[in-house]
Each structure stands twice: as C-alpha cells, then as structure tokens.
C-alpha cells in the first residue's frame, strides 16, 4: 500500500484534516508540539501518515527533529506516492515558510505535492477570498481551499487528492525560471498578495489577550481556571459516579440472585463487583478531566497559559513549554513525558521529564476520590457550585505541582547538562481563539474512558482474582485466617508507622503495578470481610472500619508523590536512555512519599 504524507505547521488544522480523511479520531490540540508521534490511517487505497507539526526543516526540538528525519526518509522511499502540505489560510506567511521548503525538497526527489489551504472558513468570516488558481501558479503546485472543521471544499479536496495520488508524476512541482530567492522573502510576498492582513486577524484576538494576558489579571484568571478544572472533576462527575455506583450495585444483586450460595457466588460478589466494580465508579472523573482539558486545548487558551507560566517556571529551572507536558501529565504521564520532546533545552527537557510523575495522573483519581469520600465531609459552598471535597481535590493536585517545582529547583542546581550554553529565547506562536470542534472532543472523552478501562480493568481483574483466592482460602471467607492475612501480617510492620493495617499494605504493594489497582484490591478485601454490606459501597465500608484521619491524609500524600507505574518508569528510561535515572526516580519518590505519609500520620 502506497503512502500519502501529511505535513504542516502546528495549529494549522492538520490533525483534524487527518481525522476527516481517515475517519480516525486522533487527538487535536491547539498547541505546538502536542502530536509527537507519526499517526497513520487508511484513505481510499492509500495509507495516510500524519507527521508532527513543524515550523521549518531546521529543527529546534526533538519533536521537529523526528518529523524532519522521517520526512527525508519518506522522500527517499518508493512507497511514498504523494506529499500533502497543509497551510493555515489565516496565517499564510508562516505556513508557507515550511510549505515552500517541503515543495523544494519534493522537487529535489521528484515527488508530487499538493497544498491543502485549510481554515478557509475563518478567512471567509473576515470577508476575504483567496485566489487559489493564481496562488497555485506562483507555487507551481495544486492548491485546494477547504475547511476540515466546516467541511467546506473537503469533497473537492478528496477528489483531487485521489487523482494526485494515482498520477503523482503530474503533480511534481514546476520549477521556477526566476533566480532563486530566500524562502522567507517569497512567503512574505505571497502572503501579502493573497493572504489576510495581519491586523485583521489579530484585532479580535488582541482584545481577548488584553484581558487574559493582563499583567494584573492574567495570573489570577489562570489560577481560577485551574481551580475550576480540578473542582469540576469532583462536582461535575458526581451525578455520573452515583449512577454508575447504582448500576454496579443493582447489576451485582441481579446477577448473584441466579447463583447458588457458596464460593462461586462469593467470587462474583467480592472479586468481580467488589474489585472491578469499585474501580468503574470513578471512570466518569476521567471523562470530565479529558473534556475540560480538551476545551482548553481546542480553544487556544493553553498556549496563553504556557506564556503566563513561562516566567514563574523559569525560576524553577523550567520553561513555559514545560506547562503543556505538566498539564498533560494530569491525564497520563506517558504521553506527557513524550510531549517534553518539544522543549529545546536538553537540561529543561530532562528536568521536566523527571518531574512529570509528580503530576496527579488519572490513575490517581480513583484513589483520591475514594479517600476523600471517606475522610472529607460533603460541605457545599456558593449554592453547590463548590464543595469541600472538590477543594480537597484541588489541594492534592496543588501539592503535586508544588512538589514537582521544588524537585525541579533541586535538579536544576544539580544538573550541569547544557547549563553553560546560551539558552534559546522562549518563542511561542499564539493560535487564534476558536470554538472547539465538538464531535472529535466528545469522541476523545469517550475514547479516554475506553482506553482507561481497557488498560486498567484487566490488571485489576487479575489482581482481584489473586487477592480473592488468597483471602478466601483456606477457611472459605475467613479473611483473618486466610493466606493473604499471613502475607499481610508479615509486611504489616512496614506500614504500621503510617497508621495502616495489613489490608492497606497489601493494596499499596499491588498498586505498584498500576495505582488504580489500589481501589480494586481494597474492594475485594472489604468485599470478603463485609459480604453483607452494600456491594459497591467501598467508601461506606472503609468509613465504618474507622480509617484514622491522619493515616488517611498520609495515604493520600503517599499517592501524590510515589511513582507507582511500571509503564512510566519504562517510558522515562526510553526517553532519557538511562536505567539509573528511571529507577532512581522510582526509589527516590517512593522514599519521599513514605516520609510524608509518616509525618502526616504522626502529626494529625
């Protein structure tokens, strides 16, 4: 199968175009460098490959270096049928800088090229028209005006793309007879002739930026948005969580009513619904987190947030570009660590990757939600818009961020890598404000839930089965006389200083496979011990058991700091090329988490 290569600068609608052409739902983010891997999907009889957004063939980051390296490989490959260069019609000059470089490279390798003039709907909104026929003559390549968002011109583009892929030799760029000129000069001239005037595009954007980036208000607005982000995880998800908990409980009662009393009934009740069911209750919070971050990404605010954060983060040895990996880390540390490739400075990139695990990822959400529900009363403020549990959620996330910044400061002092070299200036393109494209956003939310369940549920199921077998036998449900109790009492001295008994010790140990296993493990343990209680009501069972406030807060702090994810350790090793750094972080964060938990249990 021949390949069609899709390239373009960041924030040009390229990823959305890829989605429209392939039917796949790749993440669309309105910030440079979020897409850090090659994505592919089938279009007609071709393989469409989406390359990371790039500003120039001269790389400034590892992300761009990867894209440029793969682009050169594609140009040399006989499997490459065509190059599609995506242009931002609202910012033609910047798009053409890279577009012209790609055109010249394709001409050098006798590859066909067509240009997708994307976001034409934005241009039309300003009452402007672009003469694509004349622009195509000047570029020496076919140009199709279209909008991947509103689908204007998409059918014509698809038709032209298929024709070009079938006969690529007819779309090799026409070499200009004029004397060679600098790319920047040509792009500026073409933009002046065909594109929107910069002041037209920037007028509305600047009015909004004057408010959001105000020296006095900008920081406060940013903090308010971040607070509402984490508050929403608890308040907005609560109705869905209640519905899921009720559904799990009712399903458990219905299913077990058909089973005879005995080991099979106990297994389904305790391991299936007590373990896996307890974990499913917290999936709505993952969906809310993904939805809110998606809104910030697609609207264009994240780039502004990176700009706001650059100066404060620089005090800790970081860059404004560290903000995006940090925020992404609240969903999952693995893509966030990979997103750190966009940071130009090797030292800042390394520090960012080493501190991302301190961001509270979605796997911690079930743990936080469970412990907060047990320890913190549901006190309402401002007519229910805020509550004490949501505020506690924000505090836990805030502690993780502060810890990351303190560790960054320490690493900045200890890391000599590239420290004496002159730092490149912080340059960031501010995308235009746009309404999110709702269909991909909703699909992204649903996909995040599916992926989280697919990744976590098998591990939780296996752990729940193992814990149930060890906890049920040899006395058929007498937990205190079980094999698991013997193991738990053996390791209990490690966790006794934290105010936790052997059940929590077992749950903590198995959660080093994946943090979210903690909830499933406790669900199984309390299911065996409290078989007559509400099957899905794990929080109620723990509350009745009498978890001490100090021990509970210490446990939350432990999960804020500890690196309990084998996949994250492997990713850090892969990105840094150092086994010493990866396992050093695992041990270091584990010891720090234990000390913080011990202090909390001792003082509260």
Rounded average pLDDT per 10-residue block, the chain, 604 residues: 89 86 61 58 90 80 75 90 93 90 92 94 86 92 92 93 92 78 89 79 77 85 83 78 85 87 83 76 81 83 85 88 84 80 81 93 87 89 79 90 94 70 63 77 82 78 84 78 87 93 90 82 75 59 88 95 87 87 94 96 90
> 131 and 257 share a domain?
no
> 187 and 244 share a domain?
no
Measured distance CA(250)–CA(536) in Å, rounded:
9
> 56 and 186 share a domain?
yes
> 276 and 165 share a domain?
no
> Phi-psi bin for 415: left (phi > 0), alpha (psi -120 to 50), beta?
beta
Last residue of one domain, picked from the residues 196, 215, 246: 196
Bridge partners of 5?
Answer: 49, 83
Measured distance CA(377)–CA(98) in Å, rounded:
56
Query: What is the pLDDT at residue 132?
Result: 92
> 177 and 55 share a domain?
yes
> 137 and 267 share a domain?
no
> 191 and 267 share a domain?
no
> By C-alpha distance, which of 362, 374, 453 is closest to 400?
362
Measured distance CA(522)–CA(504) in Å, rounded:
7
Does residue 514 form part of some domain? yes
* Residue 38 belongs to domain with CATH number: 3.40.50.300
CA distance readout (Å), 470 to 359, 365, 477: 34, 27, 10
Task: Write the pLDDT tens digit of every residue in 283-332.
Answer: 887 788 788 888 888 888 888 888 888 888 888 988 888 888 888 788 78
Query: What is the pLDDT at residue 425?
Result: 62
Query: What is the pLDDT at residue 33?
Result: 47
Does residue 93 form part of some domain? yes
Last residue of one domain, picked from the residues 196, 224, 249: 196
Measured distance CA(410)–CA(506) in Å, rounded:
33
| Tally of CB atoms within 10 A around 129 | 10
Q: Would you state the structure tokens that stand for residue 530, as one six-digit string?
A: 């409290």
Alpha carbons within 13 angstroms on the beta-carbon side of residue 185 total 4
Query: What is the pLDDT at residue 462?
Result: 83
> 274 and 178 share a domain?
no
> 38 and 123 share a domain?
yes
CB of 576 within 8 A of CB of 353?
A: yes
Alpha carbons within 13 angstroms on the beta-carbon side of residue 483 total 9
Last residue of one domain, picked from the residues 172, 196, 220: 196
Does residue 452 form part of some domain? no
> 255 and 109 share a domain?
no
Does residue 590 form part of some domain? yes
Bridge partners of 381?
Answer: 386
> 259 and 137 share a domain?
no
Structural domains counted in the chain = 2
Tell me the pLDDT of the chain averaged across its residues. 84
> 180 and 252 share a domain?
no
Range of the domain at 558: 238-285+457-603
> Any idea which residue has 């936080």 for tokens?
368
What pTM does this model have?
Answer: 0.70
Query: What is the pLDDT at residue 32?
Result: 47
Q: What is the SS3 assignment for 405?
A: helix
Residue 49 has phi, psi (to 5 degrees) of: -115, 120
Does residue 51 form part of some domain? yes
> Any idea which residue has 């099979």 for tokens?
264
């Amino acid at each position: 199968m021949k390949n069609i290569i899709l390239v373009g600068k960041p924030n040009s609608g390229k990823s959305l175009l890829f989605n429209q052409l392939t039917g796949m739902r790749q993440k669309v983010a309105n910030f440079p460098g979020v897409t850090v891997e090659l994505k592919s999907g089938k279009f007609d009889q071709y393989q469409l490959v989406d390359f990371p957004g790039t500003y120039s063939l001269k790389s400034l980051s590892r992300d761009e270096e990867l894209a440029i390296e793969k682009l050169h490989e594609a140009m040399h490959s006989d499997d490459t049928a065509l190059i599609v260069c995506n242009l931002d019609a609202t910012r033609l000059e910047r798009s053409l800088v890279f577009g012209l470089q790609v055109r010249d490279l394709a001409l050098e390798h006798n590859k066909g090229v067509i240009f997708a003039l994307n976001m034409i709907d934005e241009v039309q909104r300003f009452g402007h028209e672009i003469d694509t026929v004349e622009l195509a003559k000047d570029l020496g390549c076919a140009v199709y005006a279209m909008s991947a968002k509103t689908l204007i011109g998409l059918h014509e583009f698809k038709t032209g793309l298929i024709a070009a892929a079938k006969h690529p030799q007819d779309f090799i760029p026409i070499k200009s007879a004029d004397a060679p000129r600098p790319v920047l000069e040509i792009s500026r001239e073409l933009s002046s002739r065909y594109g929107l005037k910069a002041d037209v595009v920037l007028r509305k954007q600047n009015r909004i930026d004057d408010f959001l980036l105000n020296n006095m208000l900008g920081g406060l607005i940013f903090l308010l948005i971040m607070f509402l982000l984490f508050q929403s995880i608890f308040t907005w998800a609560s109705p869905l969580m209640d519905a899921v908990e009720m559904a799990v409980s009712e399903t458990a009662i219905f299913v077990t009513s058909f089973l005879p009393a005995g080991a099979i009934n106990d297994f389904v009740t305790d391991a299936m619904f007590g373990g896996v069911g307890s974990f499913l209750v917290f999936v709505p919070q993952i969906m809310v987190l993904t939805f809110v971050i998606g809104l910030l990404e697609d609207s264009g605010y994240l780039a502004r947030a990176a700009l706001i954060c650059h100066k404060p983060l620089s005090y800790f040895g970081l860059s404004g570009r560290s903000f995006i990996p940090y925020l992404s880390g609240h969903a999952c540390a693995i893509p966030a660590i990979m997103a750190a490739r966009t940071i130009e400075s090797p030292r800042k990139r390394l520090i960012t990757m080493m501190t991302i695990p301190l961001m509270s990822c979605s796997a911690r959400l079930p743990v936080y939600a469970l412990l907060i529900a047990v320890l913190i009363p549901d006190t309402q403020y401002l007519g229910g818009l805020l509550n004490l549990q949501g505020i506690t959620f924000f505090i836990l996330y805030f502690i993780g961020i502060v810890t990351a910044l303190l560790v960054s400061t320490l690493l900045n002092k200890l890391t000599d890598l590239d420290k004496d070299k002159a730092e490149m200036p912080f340059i960031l393109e501010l995308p235009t404000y746009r309404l999110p494209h709702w269909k991909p956003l909703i699909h992204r939310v649903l996909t995040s839930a599916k992926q989280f369940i697919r990744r976590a549920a098998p591990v939780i199921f296996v752990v729940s089965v193992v814990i149930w077998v060890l906890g049920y036998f040899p006395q058929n449900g007498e937990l205190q006389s079980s094999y698991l109790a013997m193991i738990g009492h053996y390791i209990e001295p490690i966790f006794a200083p934290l105010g936790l008994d052997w059940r929590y010790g077992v749950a903590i140990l198995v959660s080093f496979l994946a943090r979210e296993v903690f909830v499933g493990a406790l669900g199984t343990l309390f299911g065996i011990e409290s078989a007559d209680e509400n099957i899905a009501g794990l929080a109620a069972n723990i509350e009745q058991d009498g978890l001490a406030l100090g021990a509970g807060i210490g446990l939350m702090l432990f999960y804020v700091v500890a690196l309990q994810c084998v996949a994250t350790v492997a990713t850090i090793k892969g990105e840094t090329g150092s086994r010493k750094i990866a396992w050093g972080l695992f041990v270091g964060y584990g010891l720090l988490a234990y000390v913080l938990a011990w202090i909390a249990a001792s003082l509260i």
